Amino acid sequence: MTDTERLRASALALRALHVPGRPLVLANAWDAVTARIVEEAGAPAVATTSAGLAWAQGVADGDRLERDDALAAVARITAVVRVPVSADIENGYASDAEGVGDTVRAVLAAGAVGVNIEDALYGEGAGPLRPVAEQAERVAGARGAADAAGVPLFVNARIDTFLRGAGGVEETLERAAAFLAAGADGVFVPGVTEPTTVKALVEGIDGPLNILVGPGAPSVGELAALGVARISAGSSIAAAAHGLVRRAARELLDTGTYETLTGGFDHAGLNALMGRAG
C-alpha cells in the first residue's frame, strides 16, 4: 500500500466516525505519549490541541506557534499511533488561502488526515473574526490541496462566534453554511454547551457538529441525544495535567510530601506503552 493509499484509508475511517447521535469523542493530545495514552484508552482517533501543543513547546496559545514546530509535533504523534489523527492547525499557519493549502500538504506529509481551521483573528487591532468570504477562501484552499493530493481530509471549520462574543445562532449558521459550501466537512462551535442552543445548531447546520466540553458541560450521552457528531475536550486535559504538575510541585516544595503523585503512571507502564508504539 502506498503512502497516499494509507492516508486515504485513514481519512475515510476518520470520516466514518462522525455520526450524529453517536459522536466521535476526542480526548485531545499534545505529544506522542499523550497520544499513545489516549489510543490505549480505546479512542478510535486522536486529535491534537493547539493550546496544549504550544504550551509544551514553550509558547502561548493563540496563533503564536510556528508551522514547522507544530507539524513536527504532529508527525511525532502519527508515528506512534495506529488510529487516524486530526491536527488543530489554528488559522492554517498562513496569511492567505494559498498558504493554508501549503499547510495542508504539510499536514498530510506529517501523516494526519483531519484538520481544524479557525476563523478567529489575533493581534492588536484585529477584529474578533475573519470576514466570512475570506475565511471561506481559506477553507477552499485546504479542501483543494487535499483533493489534489487524493486524500479525503476531514476539514473541520471552527467558528468562534460564541467563544469570542461575536454573534449567536444566526451568525453561526451563516458562517457554517458558507464554510460547508467552500469544502468543509464539519463545523466546530466552541463556547456553547447549553442544550437548546446546541440543538438549534444541530438542526441548522447541514453537516456534523463538533462541541467543546469540559467541567460543567453536559455529558457525552446528553450531547449525543441532541444530535452532536463530535465532542472534543480541547485543551482541558492538558490544563488539568499542568494543574497536577503545579499542585505536586507546591506540595513537594511547601510540605515535603508527595500525596499528589498518587495514581500516576508507573515508569514500567509508560515504558511498555511507548515500547508498543507505532
Concatenating the DSSP letter of every residue in 21-81 gives: TS-EEE--B-SHHHHHHHHHTT-S-EEB-HHHHHHHTT--SSS-S-HHHHHHHHHHHHTT-
Give percent of the chain with pLDDT exceeding 70. Answer: 98
Sheet holding 230-232, edge to edge: 24-26, 230-232, 209-212, 186-188, 154-158, 114-118, 85-88, 46-47
C-alpha cell at 201: 445548531
When the pLDDT of each residue in the chain is averaged and rounded to a whole number, the result is 96
C-alpha cell at 142: 485546504
Q: Is the pLDDT of residue 17 over 80?
A: yes
Q: Angle at CA 272, nearest 5°, toward 268 and 276?
A: 170
pLDDT at 123: 72
How many C-beta atoms lie closer than 10 Å to residue 51's C-beta? Answer: 21
C-alpha cell at 264: 500516576
**Residue range 210-226: mean pLDDT, rounded:** 98
What is residue 158's three-state secondary structure? strand
Q: Is the pLDDT of residue 276 over 80?
A: no
d(CA 274, CA 272): 6
**Residue range 263-271: mean pLDDT, rounded:** 93
**Residue range 197-219: mean pLDDT, rounded:** 98
Residue 190: closest CA among 88, 112, 71 = 88
**Residue range 252-264: mean pLDDT, rounded:** 96
Q: Are 15 and 57 in contact (CB under 8 A)?
A: no
pLDDT at 120: 94
d(CA 22, CA 225): 8
Q: Is the pLDDT of residue 278 over 90?
A: no
pLDDT at 127: 79
Residues 95-114 pLDDT 10s = 999 999 999 999 999 999 99
Question: What are the two backbone dihedrals, phi and then psi, of residue 218, each rounded to the nearest 5 degrees?
Answer: -60, 155
pLDDT at 1: 86
Q: Are 99 and 93 in contact (CB under 8 A)?
A: yes
**Residue range 249-267: mean pLDDT, rounded:** 96
What is residue 117's three-state secondary structure? strand
pLDDT at 125: 60
d(CA 227, CA 201): 10
pLDDT at 122: 85
**Residue range 89-94: mean pLDDT, rounded:** 97
At residue 101, what is the residue type? Answer: G
Residues 158-188 pLDDT 10s = 999 999 999 999 999 999 999 999 999 999 9
138 HSE (CA, 13 A, CB side): 27
* Domain residue limits, the chain: 3-235
Which CATH architecture describes the domain 3-235? Alpha-Beta Barrel (3.20)
C-alpha cell at 18: 462522525
The residue among 174 and 1 whose pLDDT is bigger is 174
Q: Is the pLDDT of residue 79 over 80?
A: yes
Residues 99-152 pLDDT 10s = 999 999 999 999 999 999 999 998 756 679 999 999 999 999 999 999 999 999
* 165 contacts: CB under 8 Å, gap ≥ 6: 128
